[in-house]
Structure 1
Amino acid sequence: MSFNKLNTEGVMLFEQPFARVPHENYRKVFRASQKNIEKEMGAVQNMVNDLTKKGSSEPDADAAVKAIDGMIARVEGLKRKLSDMQESAGTPTLNVMRERLQHLATVEDIESSTAPEFTRWADVRLDRWLVDWCLRNGKEKTARMITAQKGIEKLVDVDLFSDIRRIEDALARKSCTEALAWCSENKAALRKLKNTLEFDLRLQEYIELARARKTIEAMAYSKKHLLPWNDTHHNQIVQAAALLCYPPTTSCGPYKRLYDPSRWATLIQAFRLAIYHLSTLPTEPLLHLAMYAGLASLKLPACYGPPTARNVDCPICTAELGQLAREVPFSHHVNSTIVCRLTGRIMDEDNMPMAFENGQVYSKEALEEMAARNDGYVTDPRDPEERQEFGKLRKVFIS
């Protein structure tokens, strides 16, 4: 078996969101089309039933023709509406789905990870991950620039993240209108997931009315938008009702927390998690997830030890990647690998470890280079007073 054989299954582990996002978008188009068909065809069926009843008792040719014309008009209007929906959203989404599946299918025909075809494919994947990272970190302009330069418009979700940013910005301005509209569009999916984002948004709008001391409006709002949730959120609704008795300056714990402005930040986080879940997107950037896999194979306790114990060639020993790797488990090696802290190269039978009298160990290659520069003498970088001839160093054998 070749070590360079491409692990297709491993490559595909990161690609589920890539294929699922357009699939979920097309499902929305399908559901919207289905609702329109049910609404219009239901109306047509009712008109047919009325016409049948009237025709059996009071035949009226003019009324029948008028009713039939009305039915034809509704069906033609439905046809136009479905056609517009398909052209504006359905067909573009199908094209995106087709493009992405073709992009993934090319991997199945590549046998080696060193093949030029896989290198090109991996470069496109890295571009996608960079765009994903930019979009998640509010750098939409940079994301669009990369997308245009690389020609990967159908392989990235710029529009989705643009909508996310728009709704989050509205929540940051203390407006729930856009988020509630999104909840309405995805009501069935949120209900299936037992997600309570809509209630949390409604509760926040009620709290803002209470904050403004608009008691009558708050009571009317609660009756219309909160009471329908009474079966699952009874205690919260009761507490919200009592909020009208407490001013925004209250020091009473439960009601002080309801008035806390930080609830808006919590709502933003809740919305983000909900839309990520519905779109099958991971909560972390794909670039980070890919890097975690590599960092987990390199992370050692020494990476977070004293600066003198760190390896200059170890990515995790750097401050930036070290911070990213903090939540990653330490690497587990069945067989130990000793790396020279001077050169970053592995010490083995061809590059033996050599020990000073104080027990510090470095690679033979590094110490030979040092001895060549210092007339046969070597100095321990961690203890300048430890100086001896290269020939007197002890060989270390790994067992």
Structure 2
Amino acid sequence: MSNGAGSSKVNVEGVMLFEQPFARVPFENYRKVFRTTQRQIEKDFSAMQTATNDLVERSKNGGGVDEDAVQGIDAMITRVDNLKRKLSDLNENFGVPTQAVMKERLEHLSVVEDAQTQTTPEYQRWSDTRLDRWLVDWALRTGRERTAKKITAEKGIHTLVDVDIFMDIRRIELGLVTHSCTEALAWCNENKAALRKLKSTLEFDLRLQEYIELARLRQTDEAIGYLKRHIVNWHDAHMQQIKQATALLAFPPNTTCNPYKRLYDPSRWDSLVRAFRLAVYNLNSLPTEPLLNLALYAGLASLKLPSCYDGSCKNVDCPVCDPDFGVLAQEVPSSHHVNSTIVCQISGKIMNEDNPPMAFPNGYVYSREALEEMAAQHQGIVTCPRSHKTCTLQELRKVFVS
């Protein structure tokens, strides 16, 4: 991440562009804790305000400090004590750890701003830690939790990675895979306000799926009751789907009639898994792709050429030609080079004025360094790797690229 060719100056803006989720995740968690605390305080204060108003009204009406008033005051004191305990627990179990995570992550990012060049030891250590973070992120997203935990423990980067979030994701997804919406619905209830702000339909989709499963089991009475309790109140935004769901009771699970066949399709569970993960990513400002993949995309986009997918043109030193990296490279556009470069197929080095291209009589071109090395090993004879034609070094022609 440099500012120009041959420059080792740190591109702070480019680095920080990748690090936005890294800083946003603990912030979103802290904001969630704040909202939870705020709702708890408002609920308890509202109850205490109501009790206080009752006591004031009682005194205005000439009522003395009787036994009921004393009991009301005692209840208020108990409620205040409970509120104090809850706030203390919230601060101890959520607030303080989250603040510590935010502090350590910001200190981690401050190294980038202080680094003068990419060659400084501090920046090199920071880059190594960043790679460890990306590997943990990739492992968590691909179901390799043990690998992620091992890297986290060995490198001591627990506060710099989001293991807990992905473990919760994994737990809820396992429920959906086994055709249970219980955990996912509980998560929706905890994040109801945020999901409403994002205009997410995840909760409705989960409710609809639970209704479909009741219809699949032909539990008609239970399905109708569930429809009234949990689905009908979504009529403003999902009337068409609710109408189809209502009619679903008239069709058996083996129906061939669309759209009811699609409603019974088990692949809906896979769609729910993807919808849930997308909702989690949106709520926590996480990218949908692993950060490691995003970094590789950026590098591959600068190397990819149409010839990389030509079976006759392969370079062992080219990442795009690698079978594994090539799959990722298919997702990015080909690079745009203002000035073309010619690479020797024998050595993989760029041919320029210091290492000019040399042509065989049949027209194939390779670098002078590679051909001179070949001639030195074979008594002045060079062989074209593609056509297998041989000649002396003196028969080669120097090529001038205009």
Q: TM-score of the superposition, structure 2-length normalised? A: 0.97
Per-residue CA deviation, residues 192-243 of structure 1 (Å, 9 max, x unaligned), is: 1111000000000000000000111101101111111000000000000000
Q: Is the 8 A contact 1:312 1:341 kept in 2?
A: no
Q: Whole-Å Cα distance in 1 between the matches of residues 154 and 283 of structure 2? A: 30
Other structure's SS at 2:391 match: strand
Per-residue CA deviation, residues 227-278 of structure 1 (Å, 9 max, x unaligned), is: 1100000000000000000000100021000000000000000000010011
The 5 Å alignment of 1:1-399 reads 3-62=7-66, 63-306=68-311, 308-384=312-388, 386-399=389-402
Segments of 4+ moved more than 3 angstroms: none
Q: Whole-Å Cα distance in 1 between the matches of residues 71 and 268 of structure 2? A: 56
Q: Whole-Å Cα distance in 1 between the matches of residues 49 and 362 of structure 2? A: 94
Other structure's SS at 2:9 match: coil
Structure 1 residue ranges without an equivalent (≥5): none
Other structure's SS at 1:309 match: coil
Q: Which amino acid aligns with 2:289?
A: E
- Report how far residue 64 of structure 1 moved: 2.4
Q: Is the 8 A contact 1:33 1:82 kept in 2?
A: yes
- Report how far residue 65 of structure 1 moved: 2.4
Q: Is the 8 A contact 1:304 1:317 kept in 2?
A: yes
Per-residue CA deviation, residues 333-366 of structure 1 (Å, 9 max, x unaligned), is: 1000111011010000111101112211110111
Q: Which amino acid aligns with 2:149?
A: R
Other structure's SS at 1:383 match: coil
Q: Which amino acid aligns with 1:375?
A: Q
Other structure's SS at 2:259 match: helix
Q: Whole-Å Cα distance in 2 between the matches of residues 4 and 141 of structure 1? A: 36
- Report how far residue 370 of structure 1 moved: 1.2
Q: Which amino acid aligns with 1:207?
A: I
Other structure's SS at 2:18 match: coil
Q: Whole-Å Cα distance in 1 between the matches of residues 399 and 230 of structure 2? A: 75
Range that drifts further, 200-209 or 59-68: 59-68
Q: Whole-Å Cα distance in 2 between the matches of residues 173 and 86 of structure 1? A: 36
Other structure's SS at 1:183 match: helix
- Report how far residue 60 of structure 1 moved: 2.6
Q: Whole-Å Cα distance in 2 between the matches of residues 387 and 366 of structure 1? A: 15
Q: Whole-Å Cα distance in 1 between the matches of residues 316 and 292 of structure 2? A: 24
Per-residue CA deviation, residues 176-200 of structure 1 (Å, 9 max, x unaligned), is: 0000011111111111111100000
Q: Is the 8 A contact 1:276 1:282 kept in 2?
A: yes
Q: Whole-Å Cα distance in 1 between the matches of residues 306 and 369 of structure 2? A: 25
Structure 2 residue ranges without an equivalent (≥5): none
Q: Whole-Å Cα distance in 2 between the matches of residues 371 and 168 of structure 1? A: 62
Q: Which amino acid aligns with 2:211?
A: Y
Q: Whole-Å Cα distance in 2 between the matches of residues 330 and 340 of structure 1? A: 20
Percent identical pairs in the alignment equals 64
Work out the number of aligned pairs and report it: 397
Q: Is the 8 A contact 2:381 2:391 kept in 1?
A: yes
- Report how far residue 66 of structure 1 moved: 2.1
- Report how far residue 284 of structure 1 moved: 0.6
Other structure's SS at 1:332 match: coil
Q: Is the 8 A contact 2:361 2:395 kept in 1?
A: no
Range that drifts further, 369-378 or 135-144: 369-378
